[in-house]
Structure 1
Amino acid sequence: MKKNKSKQNSTGTIALNKKARHDYHLQEKFEAGISLQGWELKSIRQGKVNITDAYVILQNGEAYLVGCRITPLNQASTHVICEPERAKKLLLTKRELDKLIGARERQGFSVVATAMYWKKCWVKLEMYLAKGKQAHDKRDSLKDRDWERQKQRVMKHSV
């Protein structure tokens, strides 16, 4: 028996959206499957995906991932017409969709993609209901992060 699997990282994380935590107050977490084409899956396995500007739109009772860029591989895309930024359908339950639609329409939340990762053999998307931060909120969070870092330094040197 030969084990020839090369994992890029042990956590299974494919892509992160670090900017989301800086720009939004993240409230409630959701996990969704993504409907992908074959060439997209091959590119994801190679790590050629970017979700920095990705967000979720809700229309006609369905959720779509928009702004996610999957760069096609040269080998995989010679015989297929590739759209690197096509809207990808998200696979959610009816209850989850109703909750997302209600929060967006009634309370003014946005739905922001924060991470893409492997779960067994499926690609999953982590997304949050989020409210946008004002400029002063961003400064406060930076100040709090710096203060936490300083506390850790002081505790490390005092022991």
Structure 2
Amino acid sequence: MMMFMRPAPGQVLHFSEDPTIERFLPHVAPTSTQSEPYVWAVGHDRCPDYWFPRACPRAMAWVGPRTTEEDKVRIIGPGCGERVHAIEYGWLDALRDVELYAYRLPADDFAPIGDPPHAMVSKVPVEPLAPPERVGDLFALHEEAGIQLRVLPKLWPFWHEVTESTLEFSGIRLRNARR
């Protein structure tokens, strides 16, 4: 039902809490390690990384080609799918209440960035293909995608376990996590 929060062929998505963006201009994000201005978006596989309030710290892990069964069971859990996302209790209300929007952008304007690629970037201004779509219930979206969602007192112990494992992982806005 909600799986439309992934891009269709020929599209990438940009997630935002601002439903009024008419044109995306390349810029250097204050948090970026890149010095070149870009418009940022994600393809199908990385969309779930952004099913959160923008400032919400999150740690994510998933099974990859070199993941051992031991690490999968230890961190994700037996019979718990292939992917887990974790946030802190302090962000639970924001996750419930955020109004998140998805902008569909033309993929032709974008190229992958990172090794392995973790996002798509454009060096030119980009106009959405249509008005933004309200993402809706982020809990239901995670459930429908088969992604386990954990709520923890602190992310750091989980993050250290994940980064020392054979799972693939991503951490976003971790600077906002409790110390």
TM-score (norm 1): 0.24
TM-score (norm 2): 0.22
Mark the structure with the bigger radius of gyration: 1
Higher relative contact order (CA 8 A, sep 6+): 2
